[in-house]
Amino acid sequence: MWTKVSIAALVISLAGGAFYYMNDEGLKAETSLLTKTTGERDSLESEFNQKDEERADYVAKNGVLTSDIKAIEEKKVELTDSNDDLLASNKTIEADLTTKKTTLDELKTKSKDMENVNAIAARITALDLENEQLAMEISTEEKKNEALTAQSNQIQANNDALAQLKKDQDARLSPPNLKTSVSRVIDDFGLVVVHGGANDHGIVPGSRLAIMRGKDKIAEVTVNAVEGNVSTASVIHSSITAGETIHPGDTVVSVRPE
């Protein structure tokens, strides 16, 4: 009996396995078909979207072309009207030209006894050309003279500046337009170091300089050593404003006689 039961169980098990295998294969086939169908649907949808974009682009371009065509037609009408005006004006000019030509022919007929008129006109033209050439030469000479005058004035200005510089140096005066600043203060020796020297600011040894803070003069110094781009000066203690001390960055200007 148990043998029959075992055989029956085995048969049922094999039948179930076969049924499961058939269902699984069918499911795989349906899944594959679904995937293929989904892919085709996505492809069609992408193609549809592309065609829709192409249609929208075509509509936009068509609108632009329609606008351009309308503008060209309007320009054509405008040019046609302008051409009509030009034709009318041309007819008027032709009529005027015909009248003037007739008048010229009459003048030529009347001037047969004045054969030397052309020669006189040619001579006048030649004289006009000579006058223009002379005028150009005169203009060139005037420009040269102006350049020489400007050069002479510049030389005179330079000479005057050099003379004034020599005069200032003899009088121990730094330039009137001097404006620089204090670089360093050496309190122990009563000295200040000034930005600028003989080369860049024209500071003169022995000249007096004013130390300014804003619009107020707080002290005066006497230049005792000058190099190319730096100078040192001694503080005139009697000139220091009460309660003030010289600081780096204070403005330095020239002291000039009134």
pLDDT at 33: 74
Residue 135's identity, in one-letter code, is A
Whether 19 has a pLDDT exceeding 70, the answer reads no
Q: Minimal CA–CA distance to 233: which of 199, 202, 203?
A: 203
Which H or E element spans position 82? helix 2-110
Q: What phi and psi, each to the nearest 5 degrees, are found at residue 222?
A: -115, 125
Element (H, E) at 236: strand 230-236
What was the pLDDT predicted at 78?
78
Q: Which region among 34-48, 67-81, 106-120 has the lowest average model confidence (pLDDT)? A: 106-120
Q: How far is CA 33 from CA 43, 45, 127, in A?
A: 15, 18, 106
Would you state the structure tokens that stand for residue 145, as one six-digit string? 């003279």
d(Cα 183, Cα 197) in Å, to the nearest integer?
A: 12
Of 99-108, 124-133, 152-161, 187-196, the poorest mean pLDDT is in 99-108
SS3 call for 244? coil
Closest CA to 195 of 226, 222, 168: 226
pLDDT digits (tens, 9 = 90+) for 176-201: 999 999 999 999 999 999 999 999 99
More confident residue, 208 or 103: 208
CA 23 to chain centroid, in Å, comes to: 80
Best mean pLDDT range from 25-39, 45-59, 131-145, 214-228 = 214-228
Instruction: Assess whether pLDDT exceeds 70 at residue 27.
Output: no
Residue-level pLDDT at 142: 87
Mean pLDDT calculated for residue range 35-56: 77
- d(CA 84, CA 248) in angstroms, rounded, equals 84
- 236 and 221 Cβ atoms separated by less than 8 Å: yes
pTM above 0.75, yes or no: no
CB–CB of 186/177 below 8 Å? no
End-to-end CA distance of the chain: 147
Q: Average pLDDT in the 1-13 region?
A: 58
